[in-house]
Structure 1
Amino acid sequence: MIAGIAAGSVLATAAVTGVAVAAGNAQPPQATGWHRNGQNYGPMSDMWSMGRMHGSRIGSEFDYLSEMVAHHQEAVTAAGQLQRSSRAEMRALGASIVKIQTAEIATMNKWLAAWYPGRSTAVDYQPMMHDLPKLSGDELDKAFLQDMIHHHMVAVMMSQQLLMRGQAEHQEVRAFAASVRDTQHTEMFQMQQYLSNWFGTDRWNMPGMRGGMGW
């Protein structure tokens, strides 16, 4: 099991640092802000801190499941907007995220009800996606890809922290966290490839993509 967790740590770290390979081994810039459509969305360090903040709230299996339900719900809502995309690849990506994460939400809610009856699952969730309904065409596709890479990165971090800290009380949750980590890691690389192919964007234009996972 220790060997498996160690391997997962390497994989999860690659979710952030390894994307440089797909982007031509780009080097991190000294820029301190994330810009899109002429707007400044704040320091990259702030976006990275947001990711760490979500991970730092995970103190138990219950916290992980409650936070991940909210995290998945935001992803499902955002992914539904991709049915307006003119790109078949984006529509397929959106449909896949909606299908997989909707089913995972149902599973997590079932576990919460069975293992933690009577406990409130409400969380102070901090949104990570921008206002996609106001966008269309290339703006929609690019904004979704940029935001969702960061969104996935946080899920990878949360899942790996749960595993590394030994906080999962049930084997089902350990397996689930490993699946979220590995699946979303793979999707991050696919989304980065889309950004590179269609918009010539490398990972250092992504929010929060500054370095390792910070464990």
Structure 2
Amino acid sequence: MAATSTGETWQQTVEPAGRNMMAPTSTSSMHGVNAGEEADYLTYMVAHHMEEAAAAKQLQRSSRAQMRTLGASIVTRQSAEIAMMNKWLATWYRGHSPTTGYRPMMRDLSKMSGDALDETFLRDMIPHHMMAVIMSQQLLKHGGVRHQPVAAFAARVREAEHAEMFRLQRYLADWFGGDGVLCPIGN
């Protein structure tokens, strides 16, 4: 559960992870979440960010300084954004269900180390970022934004995670000989 600044909690509902999830074939609704509705977007993004921050914390064990720095940056950014989104949810959407049906996209990194940790993180995080980009674009495209700060946030997420995907792809190619393009985008 994530606590908000007002003391309310939003529970992340997840299904067991086991494999990477492919990008959806329909981008208007992902995992039962209406990406074009602000409250659903925020609720889903809290769960999405929580998974990303948890995975990024594992990078403190990486032998690569770039990965440790990346992990620390992700944890700091995602933690601040989770707090902000929880505040918005508590303020604007008190009656909105915190259940997301979120399905983890990343493998458990807790027992990995060395190259296995770094490569798995990179291979999982690229499609994870892609999902955030798609969700943010759908919210903005379908006009479901009700509050200007959320529009600005969705645009920042879309741009920042898109740009970071290229950095992750570069790391993957440089260190592991992969191109990082792991999942197709649906229509």
Greater RCO between the two (CA within 8 Å, min separation 6)? 1
Change in 2 beyond 3 A, CA 1:51/1:193: farther
Instruction: Give the aligned length.
Output: 168
Deviation at 1:134, TM superposition (A): 1.8
Corresponding residue for 2:140? 163
Which of residues 38, 42, 48 is equivalent to 2:23? 48
Greater Rg, structure 1 or structure 2?
1
Structure 1 segments (4+ residues) deviating >6 Å: none
Task: Pick the aligned partner of 1:120 from 97, 100, 114.
Answer: 97
Distance 1:153 1:55, change over 3 A: farther
CA distance in 2 between counterparts of 1:167 and 1:173 reads 10
Query: Per-residue displacement from partner, 1:64-107 (whole Å, max 9, x unpaired)?
Result: 00000000000000000000000000000000000001000000
Are residues 129 and 62 of structure 1, via their aligned partners in 2, closer, same or farther at CA, if it must alter by over 3 Å? same
Partner-residue secondary structure (3-state), 2:51: helix
After superposition, what is the alpha-carbon deviation per residue over 1:38-76, rounded to whole angstroms, capped at 9, x for unaligned? xxx58xxx7133884637622410000000000000000
Residue 3 of structure 2 aligns with which residue? none
Q: Take 2:172 and 2:32, find their aligned partners in 1: how far apart are those partners?
A: 29
Counterpart-to-counterpart distance in 2, 1:50 and 1:126: 16
For residues 55 and 143 of structure 1, do their structure 2 counterparts lie closer, same or farther at Cα, with a shift above 3 Å needed?
Answer: same
Q: Distance in 2 between matches of 1:69 and 1:164?
A: 20
Alignment partner of 2:149 out of 160, 172, 194: 172
Note the C-alpha offset of 1:154. 0.0
- Any stretches of 5+ residues in structure 1 without a counterpart? 1-40
Q: Does 1:73 align with 2:45?
A: no
The unaligned stretches of length 5 or more in structure 2 are 1-18
CA RMSD of aligned residues (A): 2.1
CA deviation after TM superposition for structure 1 residue 203, in Å: 2.9
**Cα separation, 2, equivalents of 1:137 and 1:50:** 34
Q: Distance in 1 between matches of 2:151 and 2:162?
A: 17
Alpha-carbon separation, structure 2, partners of 1:74 and 1:200: 26
Partner of 1:139: 116
Q: Name the structure where helix makes up a greater proportion of residues.
A: 1
CA distance in 2, matches of 1:188, 1:213: 18
Q: Percent same amino acid at aligned positions?
A: 56
**Between 50-59 and 94-103, the greater mean CA deviation after superposition:** 50-59
Alignment correspondent of 1:108: 85
* Residue 195 (str. 1) matches residue 172 (str. 2): yes
Do the aligned partners of 2:23 and 2:186 also contact (CA within 8 Å) in 1? Answer: no
Question: TM-score if structure 1 supplies the norm length?
Answer: 0.73
